[in-house]
């Protein structure tokens, strides 16, 4: 992705993940989009990606038939996977996704969804797939899952901006890998559950504008107080300034 240039009048794409980066730390966001200095990448979640792919294939079977998935029936949800000509485009987070050109900022906001379901009255339900392995009850209460909630709300905002009627309640399809089996036997079994989340996308509009203002400044803003990346960078810079006595390993 190209860096942001305030003098460039062409629309500039900002992904859902970059919005979340801005919310997490404006300084890290500015360094990423203006200076090309990104946070160190995390470990690839290849197993999670495999679960996502298989879930999409499974729901696509029911999408093609226009019928409810057994999970929907189990939770009493009257809906079916949405059949739409752009469903594959919306799910392509790397190149396309669902987009909205924000006129005030000239930013094109993008997001790649996992799935969309539709109620009998035409109201859309945004769905996100998650995979984990835990013996604890799965909830949305932990601090790091605040990002999951923002993710859901950004998707809902994007679909509303594209003219769709969207339910305020979205669903996380959570696949929990079981570790209580006697042996692996070359397969990992999952319990799958549906977790509803009712949120609000009212924060998104203001955040997009604040993000744009941040992009247009020529100097990075202050770091977020809780940003571990900026705290490490500051500590490293301070340590490099402090003279250290040299210690030679193996000397007597």
CA angle, residues 172, 174, 180, in degrees to nearest 5:
165
List, for residues 23-77, the tens digit of each pLDDT value: 999 999 999 999 999 998 877 667 788 888 899 999 999 999 999 999 999 999 9
Can you say whether the dihedral through the CA atoms of 161, 152, 23, 49 is positive or negative?
negative
User: Is pLDDT at 248 greater than 80 in this prediction?
Assistant: no
Higher pLDDT, 112 or 184: 112
CATH code: domain 12-241 is 3.90.320
The Cα 75–Cα 110 span in angstroms is 31
Domain ranges across the chain: 12-241
* Edge-to-edge strand ranges of the sheet holding 12-15: 12-15, 107-111, 98-102
CA 115/CA 126 separation, integer angstroms? 6
Tokens of 106: 């000239």
pTM for the structure as a whole: 0.89
pLDDT average, residue stretch 204-214 = 97
12/189: higher pLDDT: 12
Distance, CA of 101 to chain centre: 19
């Amino acid at each position: 992705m190209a860096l942001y240039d305030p003098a460039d009048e062409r629309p500039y794409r900002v992904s859902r993940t970059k919005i979340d980066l801005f919310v997490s730390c404006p300084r890290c966001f500015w360094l990423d989009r203006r200076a090309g200095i990104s946070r160190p990448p995390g470990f690839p979640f290849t197993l999670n990606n495999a679960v996502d792919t298989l879930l999409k294939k499974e729901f696509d079977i029911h999408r093609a038939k226009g019928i409810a998935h057994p999970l929907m029936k189990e939770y009493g949800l009257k809906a079916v996977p949405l059949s739409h000509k752009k469903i594959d485009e919306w799910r392509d987070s790397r190149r396309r996704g669902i987009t909205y050109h924000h006129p005030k900022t000239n930013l094109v906001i993008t997001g790649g969804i996992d799935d969309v379901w539709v109620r009998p009255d035409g109201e859309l339900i945004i769905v996100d797939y998650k995979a984990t392995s835990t013996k604890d009850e799965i909830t949305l209460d932990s601090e790091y899952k605040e990002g999951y909630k923002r993710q859901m709300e950004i998707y809902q905002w994007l679909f509303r901006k594209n003219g769709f009627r969207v339910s305020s309640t979205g669903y996380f399809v959570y696949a929990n890998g079981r570790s209580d089996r006697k042996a692996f036997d070359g397969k990992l079994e999952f319990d799958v559950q549906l977790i509803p989340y009712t949120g609000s996308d009212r924060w998104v509009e203001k955040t997009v504008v604040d993000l744009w203002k941040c992009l247009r400044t020529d100097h990075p803003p202050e770091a977020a107080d809780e940003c571990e990346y900026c705290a490490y960078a500051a500590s490293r810079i301070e340590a490099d300034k402090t003279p250290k006595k040299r210690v030679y390993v193996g000397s007597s």
